[in-house]
Structure 1
Amino acid sequence: MRVAVCQLNAREDRKANLAVAAELLERAAAGGADLALLPEYVDYLGPAAGMPAPEPIGGEVSEFFASVARRLGIWVIAGSFHEASPDPQRTWNTSLVFDRSGALAASYRKIHLYDVEIPGRVSYRESATVAPGEQPVVVTVDGVRVGLSICYDLRFPELYRRLATEGGAQVLVVPAAFMLHTGRDHWEVLLRARAIENQCYVLAAGQIGDHEPGRSCFGRSMVVDAWGTVLTQVPDGAGVAFADLDLDRLATIRAELPSLANRRL
């Protein structure tokens, strides 16, 4: 399987964001990708006051990516978008997976929400505007089991262990808008750790650059193999990076270092 991770700088113009995402997906398809991954909040990342009305699955955003997947004939994991929820004050942060025909193959709502209060320094409550998801999701992509997650999920290894052991995941995906100040120290380390401990490939697609006053994302989208080796990485700026997943090597790693089979908890 050939995969592509797409990196962009989504802003407050949803139409422009979707156009850039489509261009990156076209580059992914031209490069022979079977599966392309976009970042978190690919639809809109800007001031809350200017955010378009949240949509249900099947609305304009999801239909846009369905049509692109169908036109290009590739699998598309559309990062995440603002999905309307029953709570008018909160959306779901939802990832959508489309197959080569443009059919919706899976959806995942981000489970872990970033709430932090450091007096005098930081006050941020993602849960004030986002409702948490409840269910881990694994989807089969051309015979390969792919476990879904979004951004802050990366700090919770128990989710990925469930995806690998209960869901049979061989590949883990992480669309993200990882903050610059934490990304510099934690992004690659956490991605490589999730790959090593679960003996899975990890695909990570991040937002890059400034999005609104006070918010800057780290980027450095990458693909990591099950040994923890970074196979490819997108330089700073919008772009696409490719990697070929070797499932025979994955099976060899699991056989010769059987940490998943040897676990007792």
Structure 2
Amino acid sequence: MSASLTEPSNVHLTVAACQISAGADPRQNLATATAAVQEAADAGARLAVLPEATMASFGTPLHEVAQPLDGEFADGIRALADRLDLTVVAGMFEPADDRRVYNTLLLAGPRGEVAYRKIHLYDAFGSRESDTVAPGSQLVTAVVDGVTVGLATCYDVRFADQFSALGRAGAQLVLLSASWGEGPGKAEQWDVLVRARAMDAQAWLLACDQAWTQPQGPAPLGIGRSALIDPLGGVCARLGHAAGVLTGRIDTEAVASARARVPLFV
């Protein structure tokens, strides 16, 4: 899906990052996600974002747990969104044609849904995501309560051009779901990158990571530090390493102001 660069009148939206720790069981992970999204809804959120790999953690045999977009996990996310009357974004794995899977973000809400397949695969720091995951190829945006949002996943954050492209496509908020691997300097890199990518998109950026989990080999299992970043790179809110729910309020006027003051998309 794509959107116009035309900016609407100022819109406010309460958003939440649901920082959870997923395990190997999709049903248990759905229950964990449901509790976190309920907490976000109780805090007034109209959009709740869960991490990459919410359905099943890395280190799980992904081709064995992968499900289609009309499977049990995705249907559970849709039912949750419908019951709470808000939009939910969750990371899941879809079967691909070659025994690999797609690393997918499902955005489901009362007024429709889209799915984004991760473009940049994490072949770095000793991991080889491309051995088990097939890459996507399409940028995705959608409109949620009058705000155009773009979708990105974890390692995508190292590729500035993807975020500039989302900004050019009209995204006023970029949702970044992640399972960011632990390691020397990785927390500092995460903090820098999420701020930089908000500035590249000239948009709000809501980054939701898996809560910190004890490392298990090269599998990226999360460090926490979910954050809400404004269009000029300011940190509006940030969680620590533990599971929790971050809520914040964004406005599209901040996007229009940043783009007028620093006209990158001309």
Aligned to 2:227: 222
1:60 aligns with 2:72: yes
Match of 1:195 in 2: 198
State the match for 2:7 in structure 1: none
1:132-156 CA distances to partner (integer Å, 9 max, x unpaired)?
Answer: 0011111111121111110001111
Residue type of the alignment partner of 2:228: V
Alignment partner of 1:176 is 2:178? yes
Match of 2:87 in 1: 75
Please provide the CA RMSD for this pair. 1.7
Any gaps of 5 or more consecutive residues in structure 1?
117-121
Q: Determine the structure 2 residue equivalent to 1:249.
A: 254
Any gaps of 5 or more consecutive residues in structure 2?
A: 1-12
- For residue 240 of structure 1, what is the aligned residue in structure 2? 245
Partner of 1:119 in structure 2? none
Q: Structure 2 vs 1, CA of residues 254 and 50 (structure 1 numbering), >3 Å: closer, same or farther? A: closer
Q: Match for residue 154 of structure 2?
A: 151
Give the Cα separation in 2 of the matches to 1:22 and 1:229: 30
Give the secondary-structure state (helix, strand or coil) at the position aligned to 1:36. strand
Contact 2:69 2:94 in 1 (8 A): yes
**Kept after mapping to 1: 8 A contact 2:63/2:101:** no
The structure-2 alpha-carbon separation of the partners of 1:68 and 1:136, relative to structure 1 and needing over 3 Å to count, comes to: same
Give the deviation of 1:100 after TM superposition.
2.4
CA gap 1:14/1:251 in 2 versus in 1, 3 angstroms: same
Please, which of 1, 5, 19 is the counterpart of residue 31 of structure 2?
19
| Farther-moved stretch of structure 1 (194-203 vs 58-67) | 194-203
Q: Describe the shift of the 1:25–1:60 C-alpha distance in structure 2 as closer, same or farther (beyond 3 A).
A: same
Partner of 1:95: 105
After the TM superposition, which segments of 4 or more aligned residues of structure 1 sit over 6 Å from their partners?
Answer: none
Aligned residues: 251
2:116 to 81, 85, 108: 108
Structure 2 Cα separation of the partners of residues 59 and 172 of structure 1: 26
Instruction: Give the TM-score normalised by the residue count of structure 1.
Output: 0.89
Letter in 1 for 2:74: S
User: Per-residue deviation at 1:260?
Assistant: 2.8
| Partner SS state of residue 124, structure 1 | coil
Q: Partner of 1:258 in structure 2?
A: 263
Equivalent-residue separation in structure 1 for 2:137 and 2:197 (angstroms): 21
TM-score normalised to the size of structure 2? 0.89
